[in-house]
A and B are shown apart, each in its own frame.
Chain A
Amino acid sequence: MVEQLGDLEAEIMDRVWSARGPMAVRDVRGLLDRPLAYTTVMTVMDRLFRKGWLARERSGRSYRYQPALSRSAYTARLMSEVLSGAEDRGLTLLHFVETMNAAEYESLRSAVQWHEGQRRRGGDDDGTPTA
């Protein structure tokens, strides 16, 4: 159940991010993949508001919601956390590779180019198939 609500949060955020302007619960509900009770959608959107994901303003007897941060601004914040997450590296996520500083990158790149030249000249000397 918790997982399903999590997926619903993601789906609702996706619809709100894709929308052009503020949306009422009814509008969002109409855009979801599966038919859900109005109160379910309202509860999840209320929770997203309390968590700071959605902003809302009163309009008549209900609220109109819009994202607190744009998707790209949100992703940028997330990525800067991910890329600088030095305190627990390797425990909660494993990077493919850290970015290098410019000098080291250049020296590595020329080393790779040299090896690449060797490989091309020597044909298949590293034992890997060229096909």
Chain B
Amino acid sequence: MIPAGLTAYALLVAFGLPRPLVGASWTSRAPRLAISMWLAAAASVVATLILAPLLLIVPNHALGDLLVLLVQWCGWADHQLPVPTWTAPQAAGVAGILGVMARLGHAIAAVTLTQRRIRHRTHRDIRLAGRFHPTLDVVVLDHPQPSAFCLPGRDATVVLTAGALRTLPAAELRAVIAHERTHLRGRHHLILTGAAILDRAFGPVSLFEDMHGELRRLVELAADDGATRHCPRHTVAHAVLRLAAPPASALGMGSTAVHQRVLRLLTAQAPLGGPAVAARALLIAALLLTPLTVITMPALSDLGYHCA
């Protein structure tokens, strides 16, 4: 009963939530809140994927029994408990949980190992070829194409090309650096790595498929917002425009995301109001608490019964 209910809940979140969330316009006004909602939904579904088979293995009341045992041990109640035995649903539960763990473990290994190898090489290459700019606290690469990026990790750093230093006026340069530092401070690469792992592990599920692309967009908006705390919005917009200019070799990519990003900075929509934020925070809390509540409910009612 409870595993079935949990499964229905997981299906609802995994297939019902993504489309409205991708389509919603409030996510651009409150990117950090939207990031939290995606992460809460993902955590909720993953927890359910593990808890639902776990409930098949462990009898529904085991958790309640555990609580009762604890109470008995403390000498508060006296009650006989049944000894658990193995059944067919339990075998299915074991298979289910091993399946989920294997997929997740494989994806974690694949994504983090490749990432570590590439990051190690890029860090070393940039340390060797770049020059540290002490006043800006960035590494400068001697290359004409204007470009800026950050390398997250233990020795995180912001990298600018000499082309970017030449092209950007001082105010826009500050905007670019503030944007990149917001990425680093917010550990945005960890958010994207988590999304990449889940996408790889459970790719066909629309929640994880959509989350990956959507989080990439949202962390850029969040970093733009971070930059606007240091300089006017239109300065950030102009910096984005300047560095998005097609290179001489004309290898630019089509990107409606950049268009939206710049216009969002220029039109300055009002931030979400208090009630709207509260409603979304409530949904985030519900996503995080539902799996836990569902499995502890019988335990709590057991405890009430045994101790009555």
Contact = CB atoms under 8 A, between A and B. Distances in A.
Interface of A: 3, 6-7, 9-10, 13-14, 53, 71-72, 74-76, 78-79, 82-83, 88-102, 104-105, 107-109, 111-112, 115-116, 119, 126-129
Interface residues of B, number: 67
**Considering residues B176, B232, B240, which has the most beta carbons from chain A within 10 angstroms of its beta carbon?**
B232
Contacts of B263: 111, 115
Given A88-B118, A92-B119, A112-B237, A78 B255 contact: no
B142 A72 contact: yes
Main secondary structure of the interface of B (DSSP, over half): helix
Interface string B176-219: 10011001000011001100100000000000000000001001
Contacts of A14: 131
B150 interface: yes
23 contacts: A6-B124, A6-B127, A9-B124, A83-B145, A88-B114, A88-B118, A90-B192, A91-B189, A92-B115, A93-B122, A95-B148, A96-B240, A97-B243, A97-B258, A98-B244, A98-B258, A99-B243, A100-B245, A100-B253, A104-B258, A105-B252, A108-B262, A127-B268
A129 B124 CA distance: 42
Nearest to A82: B149
B151 interface: yes
Given A98-B252, A99-B247, A129-B232, 7 more contacts: A78-B129, A79-B145, A82-B147, A91-B111, A94-B192, A98-B258, A115-B266
Nearest to A79: B143
Contacts of B220: 97
A94 B183 contact: yes
A32 to B, nearest CB: 15
B118 A99 contact: no
B95 interface: no
A65 to B, nearest CB: 15
Interface of B: 111, 114-115, 118-119, 122, 124-129, 131, 141-143, 145, 147-152, 155, 159, 161, 176, 179-180, 183, 188-189, 192-193, 196, 216, 219-220, 223, 232-234, 237-241, 243-247, 250-256, 258-259, 261-263, 266-268
A45 B216 CA distance: 41
A115 B232 CA distance: 14
Contact of A104 (B189, B247, B254): B254
B246 A99 contact: yes
A9 B128 contact: yes
B246 A96 contact: no
A115 B233 contact: no
Given A91-B189, A92-B122, A108-B241, A100 B254 contact: yes
A90 B232 contact: no
Nearest to B142: A75
Contacts of A72: 142-143
Contact of A112 (B122, B161, B188, B238): B238
**Considering residues A71, A75, A99, which has the most beta carbons from chain B within 10 angstroms of its beta carbon?**
A99
B192 to A, nearest CB: 4
Contact of A126 (B183, B189, B233, B254): B233
A128 B267 CA distance: 11
Contacts of B119: 91-93
A79 B92 CA distance: 51
Contact of B234 (A91, A95, A107, A119): A119
Given A91-B189, A93-B150, A127-B268, A99 B253 contact: yes
Contacts of A94: 149-150, 152, 180, 183, 188-189, 192, 219, 223
Contacts of A129: 232
A84 to B, nearest CB: 8
A89 to B, nearest CB: 8
